């Protein structure tokens, strides 16, 4: 029988009574929550859920927030929560689901994404990292280079796509793997960004061995599996649940209210326009999450991610302009390797610089415009003369 909102509220209160947040350690509370099926209520029983409607997660979250219960630090493990977990749930074996989902949600194992390459960013299907099956051991031997890998320096596992058959067209010769980031042959190097930090990395894979048990989906099915990941990624980036005046618009609105001497009519008009757009985007994100209750994410997430990137860049630019000379200050341009990205807890200069990456990460805005045009608006596709040519014969 499918749980109701009342059932979930009662289960949550029982969890809180048995494991009071004030006296229960954070790891123990999170473990108890997962085992009670209150981590992802829409996941199956035994995998952190109860098979309930996805929309009822809000019931659990509200009860826990009111009680001051700890969360699982979702910013630190966002790639695992937003990309790896739904892909493993959709394509993983029962053994893979039971092995990976619990430590992922608990934050015991951080995940990263080994997709983009120096020669295959926007055209991801052109990737050249090779995976060759060693028939004597049943392992895949992987060689190649990945780039723009957030959290690779802290990750225990990675979702990885590699070419397993170069004689097929580029979309059809790819296979999807779960890669141990501590395996011999994995090398992570920092990529210093405009902020001075290095949350991104480049990853070199040299003779890395992956057991076939860590293949996700069938051999050659990697592009279909990867599309599931990418759809979820764009929803997780562009469709995050935030309160009114949450996100980037919050600090700008606060400065406007607290420092009236900075105001001009022109800046006021720009702020009002961006405030309305941010609120429309927030409400659209709520609607998108409601649509997810009925099935897998669709191309609408690409539109949300497009809006997220544009708004962040315009809002952060307005904030710098509003602050005048003070907006040019940037307090700490040092090479750090942060575990999370904090847009609202830093100064305006950081937000302005970091927002530049929003139109690149999670799919460039140019590629997302094509996706929206073709799959949402139904416009004719751009000519592609390489879809039926074997990958090995493509010009590179």
327, 349 Cβ separation under 8 angstroms:
yes
Q: What is the DSSP string of 82-109?
A: IIIHHHHHHH--HHHHHHHHHHHHHTSS
Q: How many residues does the chain have?
A: 396
Q: What is the DSSP string of 175-221?
A: EEEEEETTSTTEEEEEE--TTS---EEEEEEEEEEEEGGGEESSTT-
Question: Which contacts of 280-284 are long-range, i.e. CB under 8 A and separated by 24 or more positions?
Answer: 281/307, 281/308, 281/311, 282/242, 282/244, 282/246, 282/247
Map tokens 């700490």 to a residue: 332
Catalytic residue selected from 233, 319, 339, 382: 233
Q: State how far the alpha carbon of 307 is from the alpha carbons of 183, 279, 316, in Å.
A: 38, 12, 14
246, 275 Cβ separation under 8 angstroms:
no
DSSP assignment letter at 1: -
User: Residue 23 is encoded by which pair of tokens?
Assistant: 């006296």
153, 111 Cβ separation under 8 angstroms:
no
Query: Is 233 a catalytic site residue?
Result: yes
Question: Within 13 Å and on the Cβ side, how many CA atoms surround 281?
Answer: 29
The alpha carbon of 238 is separated from its chain's Cα centroid by a whole number of angstroms, namely: 9
Q: State how far the alpha carbon of 63 is from the alpha carbons of 39, 42, 212, in Å.
A: 13, 17, 42
The alpha carbon of 374 is separated from its chain's Cα centroid by a whole number of angstroms, namely: 23
DSSP assignment letter at 76: T
Catalytic residues: 233
């Amino acid at each position: 029988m499918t749980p109701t909102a009342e059932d979930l509220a009662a289960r949550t209160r029982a969890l809180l009574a048995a494991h009071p947040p004030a006296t229960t350690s954070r790891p123990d509370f999170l473990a108890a929550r997962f085992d009670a099926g209150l981590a992802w209520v829409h996941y199956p029983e035994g995998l952190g859920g109860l098979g309930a409607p996805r929309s009822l997660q809000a019931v659990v979250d509200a009860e826990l927030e009111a009680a001051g219960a700890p969360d699982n630090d979702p910013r630190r493990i966002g790639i695992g929560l937003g990309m790896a977990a739904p892909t493993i749930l959709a394509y993983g074996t029962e053994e893979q689901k039971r092995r990976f989902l619990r430590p992922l949600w608990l934050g015991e194992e951080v995940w990263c994404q080994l997709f983009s390459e120096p020669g295959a960013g926007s055209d991801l299907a052109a990737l050249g990292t090779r995976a060759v099956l060693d028939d004597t051991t049943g392992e895949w031997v992987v060689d190649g280079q990945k780039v723009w890998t957030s959290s690779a320096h802290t990750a225990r596992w990675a979702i990885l796509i590699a070419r397993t058959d170069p004689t097929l067209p580029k979309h059809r010769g790819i296979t999807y793997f779960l890669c141990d980031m501590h395996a011999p042959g994995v090398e992570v190097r920092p990529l210093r960004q405009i902020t001075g930090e290095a949350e991104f990395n480049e990853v070199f894979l040299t003779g890395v061995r992956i057991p076939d048990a860590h293949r996700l989906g069938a051999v050659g099915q990697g592009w279909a599996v990867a599309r599931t990941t990418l759809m979820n990624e764009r929803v997780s980036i562009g469709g995050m649940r935030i309160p009114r005046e949450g996100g980037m618009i919050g600090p700008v609105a606060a400065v406007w209210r607290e420092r009236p001497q900075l105001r001009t009519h022109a800046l006021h008009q720009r702020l009002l326009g961006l405030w309305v757009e941010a609120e429309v985007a927030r409400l659209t994100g709520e609607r998108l999450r409601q649509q997810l209750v009925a099935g897998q994410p669709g191309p609408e997430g690409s539109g949300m991610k497009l809006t997220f990137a544009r708004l962040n860049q315009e809002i952060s630019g307005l904030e710098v302009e509003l602050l005048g000379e003070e907006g040019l200050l940037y307090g700490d341009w040092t090479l750090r390797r942060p575990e999370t990205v904090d847009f609202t807890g830093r100064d305006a200069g950081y937000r302005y610089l970091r927002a530049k990456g929003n139109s690149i990460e999670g799919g460039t805005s140019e590629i997302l415009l094509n996706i929206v045009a073709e799959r949402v608006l139904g416009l004719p596709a751009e000519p592609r003369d390489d879809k039926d040519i074997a990958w090995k014969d493509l010009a590179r």
